[in-house]
Amino acid sequence: MTTRRTRGSAGRVGVVDGHGRAARAAANAGAPTLEFAARTPYDEYVGTEVLHDLQRTVTDAPEELAFLVTTQVMELYFGLLRSEWTLARRLLDEDDVTGATTVIGRSVRHFEALNAAWTALGWMTPAQFNSFRDELGEASGFQSSMYRHLEFLLGNKSEALIRPHRRDPRVHRELLDALSAPSLYDSTLALLGRRGFDIPVRQDLTAEYVPSPLVEAAWVAIYADQGPGDELWTLGEALTDLSERFSDWRYRHLMAVRRSMGAKPGSGGSSGLTWLERSLRREVFPELWSARTAM
């Protein structure tokens, strides 16, 4: 029997099972419940009051609210993806390939929703962005600590990129831990090594991943000898989907910047468009792509 936990206004956890819901529906003659002792369970669970209090614009420009809400939605998805990829990494370390592949596949769906968020800003012209951009000061998406966690989990590591967070001890410590921890791809390659493939051991997990001919050969063998239904083949395809969605994210980011501000310098001190173009050329899980040439 499936049960759902709900948290009441006093912080207590109540359980409502199928029988309880059926009884409530019968008592209400099919109508929704309209009376509660305190705030509605929905508002309490979702934290709607807190969420809607977070949209604190710094100008009167009507376009700014859409920009801020979209950015906050993206941050929520960053946190969700971090949780999913951390779980997938743990499952790979435990040799639960099917479980890890399921989580990675689920995260690809999250990424599709995240990428769609750029559409919400597709209407923004340079004039509209300029109506509030100066008031943002040096605030830039480049400074997102949660996005940096995603980059590290994907193997795009750089100690220099956590320096902006040195004044926030908790965030800085978490990023240092993430920098030294295995990436999702590191755990994947360790799994392949345990399965008998000749995989080089990475000596410095804090360094950015460098492609290896041995890893490429392993993926070529997996695709040549296996097929749909094999767990390593399926894992490779799930990681390829993830890599593709991440490339989509970078491309859509690039085009959103190009559309709203052209080639102007970025707010955070970068060259803006040129910086994003360089980032777009950095591949995630590179041997899964290069192996296709050798197949």
Q: At what angle do helices 231-261 and 97-116 cross, to 10 degrees?
A: 20
Q: Collapsing DSSP states into helix, strand and coil, what is residue 24?
A: helix
Rounded distance between C-alpha atoms, residue 183 and residue 174, angstroms: 14
Structure tokens at 138: 């040096």
Amino acid (one-letter) located at 27: A
Residues with Cβ within 8 Å of 195's Cβ and at least 6 positions away in sequence, in order, are 232
Question: The tokens 């097929």 sit on which residue?
Answer: 227
Nearest CA to 38 out of 49, 54, 52 is that of: 49
Would you say 194 is a known binding-site residue? Answer: no
CA distances from residue 276 to 203, 252, 263, 282 in whole angstroms, order as listed: 29, 10, 11, 10
Would you say 133 is a known binding-site residue? Answer: yes
* 254 close to 277: Cβ distance less than 8 angstroms: yes
Query: Cβ-count burial of 34 within 10 angstroms (0-12 exposed, 13-18 middle, 19+ buried)?
Result: exposed
Question: What does DSSP assign to residue 205?
Answer: T
Question: What does DSSP assign to residue 153?
Answer: H
Q: Which residues are annotated as a binding site for heme?
A: 253
- Residues of the binding site for substrate: 133
Binding-site residues: 133, 253
